[in-house]
Structure 1
Amino acid sequence: MTSSGKHVLITFGRSFLSLNLARLLAAGGHRVTTVDSIPVAITRVSNAVTGFHKVPPPKFAPQEYCRELARIVRAESVDMVIPIHEETDILSMMQGLFPAECQLFLSDFELENRLHNKFEFQAMLDERGVPTLKYAQFASRAEIAGLDFDGPFAVKQVYSRGSQKVHKVYPGDPMDWLEFDDDNPWLAQQWLHGDRYCTYSVVRDGKIFAHATYPVGYAIGGSSCLSFTNVHHQGIFDWVTDFLADTSFTGQVGFDFIDHPDDGLYTIECNPRATSGIMMFRPHNRVDQAFFGTNDELITPDDDVERMIKIGMALYGWRADARQGRTMKQYFHDMRTFDDVIGVPGDRKPGVLLPAAYAGILRSCVKYRVGLAEGFMHDHEWDGHTI
C-alpha cells in the first residue's frame, strides 16, 4: 500500500460487485475491509481484502447494522465507507452515527430515496421537464380501474429490483394476483421496445468522475445483466451528466435506458448504488481515483472489455429469455471467450469458494422462502419500510 492509500470499507461482501471494487481499490494502493451478514462471503478470501467482519443483516436489524459499521470505522480508522446494495438507503438515514473524518460515499436520504423509488424518480424527471414514458402509481385494487394505458405496460413495485417481479400487463387484465403493501405501492409504466442500455457512474457533488455504458446482453429474465461490453453513447452520457449535475448527487449510480428508433431516449429507472458496470473496469483504469475525486479526466472502461458472470451464465444465461435471440452455439462461444469477473489470475480463491458461498445463500433462500436470485440479496434490500 502506498503512503497515500486510504482504508476503505465495502459493504455486501458476498457480491461480485464488491469483489471487483475491492480489487480495483487494492490495485490503487488502498487497504480494503469488507463486511456482510453471512460468514462465507467471496470477498473474505480475496487477496485484495485485508479484513472481513460479519455484521447484522441491514434489512432485519438496520440500527444494529449501522452501529456495528460505525464501531468498525472507529476501531480501524476507516477513511471511507462504500455501500454496494440497498443498505445505501439505510446508511443514509443514520449518517450521524459515523465520525466526521470518515466519508460515507452516498447522498442524503431524501435524494437517495427519491432516486430509489421508481415512481418518485419519474416524478423528478417530470419536474425537470425530462420526457418520460407514461406512468402511474396505484396502492389498492380499487385504483386498478383508473389506469389509463392504450397498450401494454409494466407493473412493478416502486421499491423493487430489475430482475424481480416485473410483469407485462395489457389493458383490461384483471391483475387479481397483485398483493398490496402500504409502504410499497405499485408502478404502472408504458412498455416500450427498443435498444436497451445500462449505465454506471461514480459521482461527487454532481460531477461524474468515472462512467460506463453497456448494452443489455445476456440477462436474467431479460433484465439483470450477466455480460458486459463497453459502448459509447453520447446521448446517454449527456443525459446522465445533465441530470446528475442538477441533483448534486454523490455516490455510485446507474440508469436503465431504452433508445427507440422513432420515439427517442427514455430512462426507465434509477439505481442509486453500485451496479454491474463496476465490473467493466480494469486495474490500470485507476477507477479508485474517481471515489476520491482526484482524476482530472473522465475514467471509462477499455473499448475491448468483454466480461461476464460465468456462474450466472451457467445458471441462467443458457435460457431463451436470457440469450435474447442468441443461439446456443453463440452462448458456448461467448462462455469460452469472455473473461470471468470472479476467477481472475492472481486471485483465484473467491472462485474456489463459490460452492460454499452459494450453499450459504441457498440456506437463506429456504429461510426467507425466496428464489436464488432474490435470496442472494434479500437481507440487504430496503422496501420503504419505516426504521
Structure 2
Amino acid sequence: MEIQSETARCFSLVFLSLVNLPISLVILCISTLRNLISSSFKMPHDGTQDGCSRRTVLVTGVGMAKGLTLARAFYLSRHQVIGADFEDHFIPCSGRFSKSLSRFYKLPRLDSPGYTRKYIDRLMQIIKDNEIDLWVSCSGVASAMEDAQAKEEVEFRTLCKCIQFDVATTSMLHEKHNFMRACSERRLPVPETHEVASKDEILKILSYSALQYPDRKYILKPVGMDDVNRGDMTLLPLPSKAATVEHVSRLFVSSSTPWILQQFIPGGEEYCTHALVVHGKLRCFVACPSAELLMHYTPLPQDDMLWQDMRDFTMKFLERSSNAGNMTGHMSFDFMVDSAVGKGNEIGSKTLYPIECNPRAHTAVVLFAQQGPEMRDMVRAYISAIEGPGDASSDGKILNGQNPGSEKLLVMPPNNTVSRYWIGHDIVSLLVHPTLRLIAGSVDFMDIFNSSFIFLEHLFAWEDGSFQAWDPLPAFVLYHIYWPLTILAAWWQGHRWSRINVSTTKIFAC
C-alpha cells in the first residue's frame, strides 16, 4: 500500500504540472513578447549611473530562489553575473535559464568521490577563468563547510573576495551546540541546550529537569543532516517515564551521531532573519515570521519591537565577537518568542531566544527583490566587500535615507514590500489538499472557501518568489521541468520523501 500511495502521489504531482502547462506557456509567451516589444518594461539598470565600477560576480546556488534573487539584483545594477549550481541526474537547474546570467557552470555532485577537493577546484577554475571580483555563496546546508574551505583558499590564491565566512566562523554558527555556546560567551540569552551522545545521557538530563523545573519541556534534534528526524517536535518528557524511555530508545544516538536536547520555548511565535555582514558590520537585514517549512514571506515592519530586538541581537553578536573585522558572509538567525514573563531580552512580557543560526543566505532575501533604491543599496553593500574595512562606505551614497558617514549603514526592504509566495506550493497546499480532505470528509466547505480565499489573495496581491515578468523562464523551468523530473527520479530510485520545498529545491526524506 505504501508503494502504491507513493506512486500515486508522485504521478499526481507530475499530472498537476502537465495540467497547468498551457497556462504557464501563455504567461511565458506573453512575458517574452512584451519584453521584446517594450524595453521600458524592464527594471532600470542603476549601477553605472551611481558611478560604481562594473564588477564580475559569481553567484552559487542560482537554482534556489535566494541565489536567483541576488543574481538578478546584480544584473539589474549592470554587473556581470556568472551562475553555478549542482545538477543531479542530468536535471537542469532552473536558474541557469535566467536572463541575468552571462554564463552558467555545473558544480560537482555532492556524493561524488573526493567531492570537497573537486568542488573547491571547480570554484577556483571558474573564478580564474572569468576573473571574478566577488563570489556570493548561496549554496545550501549540505555544502556549508565546503564553502567555508573554498572561501579560505579562494581569498588566499586569488584577488576575488567572498561573501562567505571562514571555516572557524562557519563551524561556530553551523553547529547548533557551538552556536549556543557562542551566544552564551557573548552574554546573549539562549534556551537551555545540551549536546547529548547517548540515550542514558538524555534520560538523566530529563530526570534532573523534572525535579528542578517540573513544567519545562525539551525537544530533540539531530546535529547533522537528518530529514527523517528534524521535523519531530515531540515534547519531552512524555506523560509517563515508560513512554519517554520508549521514545528515546527508538533514536540512534552516539558519540559519532550526537543530538541536541534543547528547552522548548512555549508560545509558538517563530521568526527568521536574513543578514549580510561585511567586515564585521551589519549591512543588510530583514526579519519575518517563520515556520518549520516556511513558504510565505512577509517582512516585519521596522518599528516593530521584535524586529528591532532581532536586529540588536545580530549587532550585539557581531560587536562581541573578537574576530568581527574578519567576518564577511550571510548570517541568518531563527528565533522563538516566549510569551511568559522571564529574564533575558524582554519585550513587554515576551522573551526572545535564538534557537539556530544558518551561516548562509536565507530565502527571506527575496523580500529585497523589488524595484527601488533598496535593491541598489543592497547590491552596493555586497560590492563593498571588495574594498577594505575602512572603505566600506567609500561610494558616498545614502542607504535607506542614512548618511554613510554615520555608523548606521543598514539596508532594509522598502516599507511597501510585497509579500512572497510560491504558486506551485500554494496550488497543492491551499487547493488540492483541502479538496482531497473534503472528499474524505475531514473538512467542510467553509474550510475550502477559506483556503481558496487565501490562495486568491496570494495570487493577486502577493508575488511569486521565483517569477519575474522580465525574466520568466526560470519559474517555467522550475515548475514544469525541474520538479516533474526530480519527483520522477526520486520515484524511480525508490527514495521516499515527506515534503518538498519549492523555493530551495529540497526534498525531505522520510
Query: When the two structures are superposed, what TM-score results if normalisation uses the length of structure 1?
Result: 0.87
Question: In 2, distance between residues paired with 1:181 and 1:269?
Answer: 22
State whether structure 2 residue 67 is matched by structure 1 residue 18: yes
Q: Which moved more, 1:175-184 or 1:303-312?
A: 175-184
Aligned residues of 2:197 and 2:253 also touching (Cα < 8 A)? yes
Q: 2:467 aligns with which of 333, 343, 352?
A: 343
Deviations 1:208-246 (A, max 9, x none): 111101112xxxxx4132111121221111111111232
Q: 2:171 aligns with which of 113, 118, 123?
A: 113
Q: 2:309 aligns with which of 220, 231, 235?
A: 235
State whether structure 2 residue 180 is matched by structure 1 residue 55: no
Aligned to 1:124: 182
How many Å apart are 1:160 and its aligned residue? 4.2
More helix by share: 2
Stretches of structure 1 that go unaligned for 5 or more consecutive residues are: 217-221, 380-387
Question: In 2, distance between residues paired with 1:377 and 1:184?
Answer: 22
Deviations 1:308-364 (A, max 9, x none): 1222333446779xxxx9942452243222111111121111111122111343356
Deviations 1:69-97 (A, max 9, x none): 11111111111111112324212124454
Question: In 2, distance between residues paired with 1:368 and 1:31?
Answer: 41
For the residue of structure 1 that corresponds to 2:470, the secondary structure is coil
Question: In 2, distance between residues paired with 1:179 and 1:334?
Answer: 44
Question: In 1, distance between residues paired with 2:256 and 2:383?
Answer: 35
Aligned residues of 2:62 and 2:71 also touching (Cα < 8 A)? no
Aligned to 1:331: 454
Q: 1:259 aligns with which of 337, 340, 351?
A: 337
Q: Compared with structure 1, are the counterparts of its residues 211 and 226 closer, same or farther at alpha carbon in structure 2 (3 Å cutoff)?
A: same
How many Å apart are 1:183 and its aligned residue? 4.3
Letter in structure 1 aligned against 2:362? T
For the residue of structure 1 that corresponds to 2:53, the secondary structure is coil
For the residue of structure 2 that corresponds to 1:65, the secondary structure is helix
Q: Which moved more, 1:198-207 or 1:304-313?
A: 304-313
Q: Compared with structure 1, are the counterparts of its residues 127 and 327 closer, same or farther at alpha carbon in structure 2 (3 Å cutoff)?
A: farther
Q: 1:269 aligns with which of 336, 356, 362?
A: 356
Aligned to 1:384: none
Matches within 5 A, 1:90-101: 90-98=146-154, 99-101=157-159
Q: Compared with structure 1, are the counterparts of its residues 80 and 377 closer, same or farther at alpha carbon in structure 2 (3 Å cutoff)?
A: farther
Question: In 1, distance between residues paired with 2:366 and 2:62?
Answer: 15
Question: In 1, distance between residues paired with 2:167 and 2:111?
Answer: 16
State whether structure 2 residue 327 is matched by structure 1 residue 278: no
Aligned residues of 1:197 and 1:213 also touching (Cα < 8 A)? yes
More strand by share: 1
Question: In 2, distance between residues paired with 1:300 and 1:91?
Answer: 26
Aligned to 1:383: none
Aligned residues of 1:8 and 1:31 also touching (Cα < 8 A)? yes
RMSD of aligned residue pairs (Cα, Å) = 2.7
How many aligned residue pairs are there? 370
How many Å apart are 1:377 and its aligned residue? 4.0
For the residue of structure 1 that corresponds to 2:355, the secondary structure is strand
Aligned to 1:373: 500
Q: Considering only CA atoms, is the larger Rg found in Structure 1 or Structure 2?
A: 2
Question: In 1, distance between residues paired with 2:152 and 2:187?
Answer: 34
Aligned to 2:28: none
Aligned residues of 1:12 and 1:83 also touching (Cα < 8 A)? yes
Identity of aligned residues (%): 22
Aligned to 2:280: 206
Q: Which moved more, 1:90-99 or 1:298-307?
A: 90-99
Q: 1:187 aligns with which of 235, 253, 260?
A: 260
Letter in structure 1 aligned against 2:54? G
How many Å apart are 1:277 and its aligned residue? 1.5
Aligned residues of 2:186 and 2:320 also touching (Cα < 8 A)? no
For the residue of structure 1 that corresponds to 2:249, the secondary structure is coil
Aligned to 1:292: 383
Aligned to 2:41: none
How many Å apart are 1:265 and its aligned residue? 1.0
State whether structure 2 residue 224 is matched by structure 1 residue 159: yes
Q: 1:7 aligns with which of 47, 56, 66?
A: 56
Question: In 2, distance between residues paired with 1:43 and 1:279?
Answer: 14
Question: In 2, distance between residues paired with 1:330 and 1:303?
Answer: 25
Aligned residues of 1:159 and 1:184 also touching (Cα < 8 A)? yes
For the residue of structure 1 that corresponds to 2:92, the secondary structure is coil
Q: 2:293 aligns with which of 221, 224, 241?
A: 224
For the residue of structure 2 that corresponds to 1:169, the secondary structure is coil
Q: Compared with structure 1, are the counterparts of its residues 183 and 94 closer, same or farther at alpha carbon in structure 2 (3 Å cutoff)?
A: farther
Q: Compared with structure 1, are the counterparts of its residues 370 and 184 closer, same or farther at alpha carbon in structure 2 (3 Å cutoff)?
A: farther
Question: In 2, distance between residues paired with 1:255 and 1:137?
Answer: 19
Q: Compared with structure 1, are the counterparts of its residues 312 and 183 closer, same or farther at alpha carbon in structure 2 (3 Å cutoff)?
A: farther
Letter in structure 2 aligned against 1:265? L
Aligned residues of 1:24 and 1:283 also touching (Cα < 8 A)? no
